[in-house]
Every structure is written in structure tokens, then in C-alpha cells.
């Protein structure tokens, strides 16, 4: 069946990043069709905790993205229904000893110079922020700009607000091209969709879509687990994590890494992470990973030791070797744009990514320098080997 619909742009991926691309493109006056082989938020978005963080990012391009995106999330929270559960609760990073605290304070001081709001918290003041936090910690840093959202609902409401045509159960199997290899649309197992622009917002599968276009984008899956407790009174007020979490995020290791990340939700359950490992798309339950997550959480919040975990789930972060997403036009294929490879920061960075994509589509000036996110930066094999 050949479809006659001719939008201005096709967004491949109905996760939070694809939804944000659709939303901002539509606000810029473009007609948008969104395709996904599964349901809305059926990939990484549906397995995320909903973190909107600046606290875990070192000064540099990604932090600039995060700061701009934090502004956009605040705007979206006013425009979208309250059901997205946007909660500007702030983050608290804690150190177990004086050496870790010194390193944390140095890191925070550099962030502050880059525009992040940081507040040093002495050990005896930690209970003021988190009454149930373990005693004996050396201190911490409070990040008021950190927030949280319910990612699947946020993606759903962004798509609804965009007015885009959303076609689910449509796996892209090929790209249509014209003279000079310029994009003319996409082919799925059952349909053909025509458009002069295609946005690759396929998340962990972004590398596969790039290959269909004949270009390299070495996106790899990085598995993580989340534990979900029974509903509780608000025993955890902020997003709380140990200082070593930042090092795990920046690590290139393929082996299992865990660091305690604990946060409450408006609905009551406490979410416990975070683990990272590169095992392909293997969703098998890892008992060692779950045990380490539980141990780390109870070390931070002893009150959780007697709480039941009602479920656990796995997700795959779309990892690129240099830990920066690919955002913008692909000079190698006219009409192709990329919005993927955000690793664990996709939910937080979705609005600014969508805004940049809309600016690229319309010829507007992006809100910041996007050169570090050039999708073609891995050509020549400089990035592929590092991510293998």
C-alpha cells in the first residue's frame, strides 16, 4: 500500500526525543509524521527514571545542553498537562568520606562557573534535606536545578500537543532517495512515506537506521536496571546519589558498574538505580546487578532495608563512544538529521534536542553551538573502535 501523505518531515522514533522533535518542528510550522515499530515510549523512554539532571555533567557541551533543556522543561511544564509529573525537586549528591567530598566540591565549583546553581551541604545539615539519609556521611552538594518527569506520559503529551500524525507498528526498512542521494522518505514493511526530511530519533537503534542511509553512527546499547519499591510516604525528597555515580556515567567500561541512585515519586514508589554494562540487547535478569543496587540504596537510606521491591525492569541507554549525542543535519546524506545517542540523559535533553532539530529544519539559529554533536564526527573509524 502506497501512502499519499506528504509531511514536511518524518520523525523515526516515538520516544521522548522523537516526541520533542515532533513538538518543536510542529511549533515551527512544519507538518510532521512520527513512525515507530512499537508503541509510544516503547524503548528506552519507557524504561527510564525520568531524570532531568545538570548535577552529573561536567562543564562542556553536554552541560550546556542540559542547562538550556532545563529552561525548556520548565516552559513545557506550564504548557503540558500536570500528568507528566514534572517535579523540580532538586538533587543531592553525597560523599562517604573526606576524599570523596573534596573531589565533589571541586567538581561542583567548576560546574558553578559554568552556570549551575550549587549549594554546599555540611554533614550535620544533610538531615535537613533528607531526614532518612544514613548518618556518618562526610557531606554533599545540593543542586536545585535537578528535576524529574514521568517520561512515558511526557512523550505521550508532547506527541498529542504536536498534532503530528503518529503511525505505530511501522518499522523502517529502508530510506527513499532521489538525485544526489537526497532523502525522499522511508519505506516500512507495509507502506511508503514521502518527505524531504527524515529525523533519526530511533534511540538505541539509531545506528541501525544510519546504516540504512549508508553512514556510520556507532550507537551501542548500555543496559541498566531499576528497582521499584512498594508505595511509601515521601521518605526520599530529592534525587539522591553517591558521588561515584558521575564517574560511572563518564566511564567507557563494558563491565558491570553500579552506584547508588535513589529517588521518590509522586505516586509513592521509590526508584533505585543505577547500573551500567554493555551486553548487547540482552534483557536477562542480572541478580548480581540487582543485589548491588539494593545494597547501595540501603546504605544510603537504611529505612529501605525492610521495604518490599515489587518489580524491576531493564532498559538500554543509547551509548556513543564520546558520551555526546548526535544532533543535527548529516552532511553526508542531504535531508537526513539525527537526534540520538544521548545515553542516560535523553529524557533530560529531549526538549533542547527537539528545538535544535526544528531550527536545523527551518534554517533558524540553534540556541547553542551544535558543532560538538555533529553526526559525522565518527567517520574514518575514530569513534567506532572505541565503542566496539
Answer yes or no: is 61 within a domain. Answer: no
3-class state of residue 9 by DSSP: strand
161 plus 252 within the same structural domain: no
What is the β-pairing status of strands 9-12 and 32-36? parallel
Q: How far is CA 360 from the centre of its chain?
A: 21
| Range 110-115, long-range pairs (CB < 8 A, 24+ positions) | 110/58, 110/59, 111/54, 111/55, 111/57, 111/58, 111/59, 111/63, 113/59, 114/59, 114/63, 114/64, 114/67, 115/63, 115/67
138 plus 225 within the same structural domain: yes
For residue 228, the enclosing domain spans 91-143+220-318
274 plus 257 within the same structural domain: yes
Question: Backbone phi, then psi, for 217, in 5-degree steps?
Answer: -145, 95
How many whole angstroms separate alpha carbon 296 and alpha carbon 292?
A: 6
Q: Of 273, 296, 318, which residue constitutes the final position of a domain?
A: 318
159 plus 234 within the same structural domain: no
Global confidence as pTM: 0.93
175 plus 286 within the same structural domain: no
Cβ partners under 8 Å of residue 235, min gap 6: 132, 264, 270, 301, 303, 304
Q: In the structure, how many helices (H) and strands (E) does the chain have?
A: 10, 19
Show the beta-strand stretches assigned E in the chain: 9-12, 32-36, 51-52, 91-95, 119-122, 139-143, 147-148, 165-168, 172-177, 183-188, 192-194, 198-200, 220-229, 239-242, 257-264, 270-276, 309-319, 326-329, 336-340
How many whole angstroms separate alpha carbon 156 and alpha carbon 196?
A: 25
How many whole angstroms separate alpha carbon 225 and alpha carbon 117?
A: 29
68-93: per-residue pLDDT in tens? 999 999 999 999 998 899 999 999 99
How many whole angstroms separate alpha carbon 334 and alpha carbon 274?
A: 39
163 plus 199 within the same structural domain: yes
22-33: per-residue pLDDT in tens? 999 999 999 999
388 residues of the chain, pLDDT tens digit each: 344 458 999 999 999 999 999 999 999 999 999 999 999 999 999 988 899 999 999 999 999 999 999 999 999 999 999 889 999 999 999 999 999 999 999 999 999 999 999 999 999 999 999 999 999 999 999 999 999 999 999 999 999 999 999 999 999 999 999 988 999 999 999 999 999 999 999 999 999 999 999 999 999 999 999 999 999 999 999 999 998 867 555 555 556 777 889 999 888 999 998 888 888 888 888 888 899 999 999 999 999 999 999 999 889 999 999 999 999 999 999 999 999 999 999 999 999 999 999 999 999 999 999 999 999 999 865 333 322 2
195 plus 238 within the same structural domain: no
Contact assessment for residue 120 and residue 108, using Cβ atoms and an 8 Å cutoff? yes
Q: At 36, which CATH number?
A: 3.50.50.60
Cis peptide, bond prior to residue 274, ω within 30 of zero: yes
374 plus 247 within the same structural domain: no
**Pseudo-torsion of CA 97, 99, 105, 106, nearest 10°?**
-160
Contact assessment for residue 225 and residue 273, using Cβ atoms and an 8 Å cutoff? yes
Q: Which residue has the cell 529531549?
A: 350
How many whole angstroms separate alpha carbon 331 and alpha carbon 377?
A: 10
Domain count along the chain: 2
> Nearest Cα to 76, choosing from 361, 360, 352?
352
135 plus 180 within the same structural domain: no
DSSP symbol at 305: G
38 plus 173 within the same structural domain: yes
382 plus 272 within the same structural domain: no
Answer yes or no: is 82 within a domain. Answer: no
Amino acid at each position: 500500500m502506497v501512502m499519499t501523505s506528504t509531511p514536511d518531515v518524518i520523525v523515526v522514533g516515538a520516544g521522548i526525543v522523537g516526541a520533542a522533535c515532533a513538538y518543536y518542528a510542529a511549533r515551527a510550522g512544519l507538518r510532521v509524521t512520527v513512525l515507530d515499530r512499537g508503541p509510544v515510549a516503547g524503548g528506552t523512554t519507557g524504561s527510564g527514571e525520568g531524570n532531568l539532571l545538570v548535577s552529573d555533567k561536567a562543564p562542556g557541551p553536554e552541560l550546556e545542553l542540559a542547562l538550556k533543556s532545563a529552561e525548556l522543561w520548565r516552559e513545557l511544564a506550564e504548557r503540558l498537562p500536570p500528568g507528566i509529573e514534572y517535579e523540580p525537586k532538586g538533587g543531592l549528591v553525597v560523599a562517604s568520606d573526606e576524599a570523596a567530598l573534596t573531589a565533589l566540591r571541586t567538581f561542583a565549583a567548576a560546574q558553578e562557573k559554568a552556570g549551575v546553581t550549587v549549594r554546599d551541604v555540611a554533614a550535620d545539615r544533610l538531615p535537613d534535606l533528607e531526614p532518612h539519609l544514613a548518618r556518618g556521611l562526610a557531606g554533599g552538594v545540593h543542586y536545585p536545578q535537578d528535576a524529574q518527569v514521568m517520561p512515558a506520559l511526557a512523550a505521550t503529551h508532547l506527541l498529542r500537543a504536536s498534532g503530528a500524525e503518529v503511525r505505530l507498528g511501522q518499522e523502517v526498512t529502508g530510506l527513499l532517495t532521489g538525485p544526489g542521494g537526497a532523502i525522499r522518505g522511508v519505506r516500512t514493511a507495509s507502506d511508503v512515506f514521502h518527505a524531504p526530511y527524515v529525523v533519526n530519533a530511533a534511540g538505541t537503534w539509531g545506528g541501525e537506521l544510519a546504516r540504512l542511509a549508508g553512514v556510520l553512527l556507532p550507537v551501542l546499547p548500555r543496559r541498566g536496571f531499576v528497582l521499584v519499591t512498594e508505595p511509601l510516604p515521601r521518605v526520599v525528597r530529592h534525587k539522591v546519589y553517591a558521588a561515584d555515580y558521575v564517574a560511572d556515567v563518564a566511564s567507557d567500561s563494558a563491565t558491570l558498574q553500579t552506584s547508588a541512585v535513589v529517588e521518590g515519586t509522586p505516586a509513592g514508589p521509590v526508584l533505585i538505580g543505577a547500573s551500567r554494562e554493555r551486553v548487547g540487547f540482552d534483557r536477562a535478569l542480572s541478580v548480581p546487578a540487582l543485589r548491588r543496587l539494593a545494597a547501595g540504596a540501603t546504605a544510603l537510606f537504611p529505612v529501605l532495608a525492610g521495604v518490599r521491591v515489587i518489580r524491576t525492569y531493564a532498559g538500554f541507554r543509547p551509548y556513543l563512544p564520546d558520551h555526546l549525542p548526535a544532533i543535527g543535519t548529516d552532511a553526508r546524506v542531504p535531508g537526513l538529521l539525527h537526534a540520538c545517542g544521548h545515553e542516560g540523559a535523553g529524557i533530560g535533553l529531549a526538549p533542547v534536542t527537539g528545538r535544535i532539530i526544528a531550527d536545523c529544519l527551518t534554517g533558524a539559529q540553534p540556541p547553542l553551538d551544535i558543532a560538538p554533536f555533529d553526526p559525522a564526527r565518527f567517520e574514518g573509524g575514530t569513534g567506532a573502535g572505541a565503542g566496539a
